[in-house]
Amino acid sequence: LRHELLNGQKRFRCRKLCPSFFCLQEMNGVLKNMLSEWFSTGFLNLERVTWQSPCEVLQKISDSEAVHPVRNWVDMKRRVGSYRRCYFFSHCAIPGEPLIVLHVALTSDISSSIQAIVKEVPPLETEDTDKITTAIFYSISLTQQGLQGVELGTYLIKRVVKELQKELPQIKAFSTLSPIPGFTKWLVGLLSSQTKELERNELFTESEWQEISEITGDSTTETLKKLLNNNEWVRSEKLVEVFHLPFMRLCAWYLYGEKHRGYALNPVANFHLQNGSVMWRINWMADTSPRGIAASCGMMVNYRYFLEDTASNSAAYLGTKQIKASEQVLSLVSQFQQNSKL
């Protein structure tokens, strides 16, 4: 019911003065509060998925994967196999029914490429626990869209951390490898605002514009917008190299500097920062799939959870809107500010 209600709100969003919009908005608030009570942590069970789990559970988890689509059953088997963990919350009234799903990779370091996690060749069947020192949360997906806005993801990550500490106490680092939805769209919008030739140095240095011109034969923002919209630039090794630093600078600013009511504009960043994570590392060419290139120019970001600091980090973000970030991110933000008037 709430899923249909949310879709109805989207249809009326362009007509916010319409009485129907306010009715739907009020009803949505009532349903959200009710669902938050019905699906509070006391009613939720944490369940692990393995290849021996019921076929219908595996199918639902495969169908609901919103971040990195499951290609086939071989892919699904790998995601619940060795060096991988998959957990979901179910309600006590409907056990075995996934509500929200979290995928974890068990590695020896903090991953910088999603292809290394969802690669074609499956890892060895037997885990060498001595090599497992890091847990990478690389996908979290709701199976029931009517539960949007109900705080399930935060609780799921906390429960999974405790479960992994119990099973694998040698794990010392907990981090995500997260997508950056909306970056390319934001960048194209920024380029569209660059209408005067003299303003182009706000985004790129003079030497960067010169290199772009030498490769493409043109150095206008329209050329860049065309390259971004059709993803053609990724086929050129020279362009990939030229875009590396400026896109990293721009991405750092998008994640750290672009705000909505004082909080991070990017929804994934806002979610993990609310949980008390640190914006730790931006990774170049971390997702080279067509979807990754289109959404974020191939970049992904690690949000690292330092367990002893998550409470204070969360309080600082929610209370004073302060973002905890690493030296790498802050350095890129500083470089962006030196080249920009934003």
How much is the pLDDT for 2? 45
The answer to whether residue 272 is catalytic is: yes
> Of 239, 262, 265, nearest to 251 (Cα)?
265
Lowest mean pLDDT among 55-69, 182-196, 261-275: 182-196
How much is the pLDDT for 95? 85
- Identity of the residue numbered 234: V
How much is the pLDDT for 8? 52
Residue 87 has pLDDT above 60, yes or no: yes
Indicate which residue of 139, 272, 277, 296 is catalytic.
Answer: 272
How much is the pLDDT for 260? 95
Buried b or exposed e, range 218-251, using 16+ CB within 10 angstroms: ebbbeebbebbeeeebbeeeebbebbeebbbbbb
Residue 317 has pLDDT above 80, yes or no: yes
Q: Are 239 and 293 in contact (CB under 8 A)?
A: no
The predicted-structure confidence for 158-188, as pLDDT tens digits, reads as follows 999 999 999 999 999 999 999 999 999 999 9
Please report which confidence band the pLDDT of residue 152 belongs to, taking 50, 70 and 90 as the band edges. Answer: confident
Q: Kind of pairing, strands 259-260 and 263-264?
A: antiparallel
Please report which confidence band the pLDDT of residue 29 belongs to, taking 50, 70 and 90 as the band edges. Answer: low
The answer to whether residue 178 is catalytic is: yes
Arithmetic mean of pLDDT over the chain: 87
How much is the pLDDT for 1? 45
The predicted-structure confidence for 268-316, as pLDDT tens digits, reads as follows 999 999 999 999 999 999 999 999 999 999 999 999 999 999 999 999 9
Q: Are 239 and 232 in contact (CB under 8 A)?
A: no
The token duo for 283 is 């990774």
Indicate which residue of 141, 178, 277, 296 is catalytic.
Answer: 178
Evaluate if pTM is beyond 0.75.
yes
The predicted-structure confidence for 209-243, as pLDDT tens digits, reads as follows 899 989 988 767 888 899 999 888 999 999 999 99
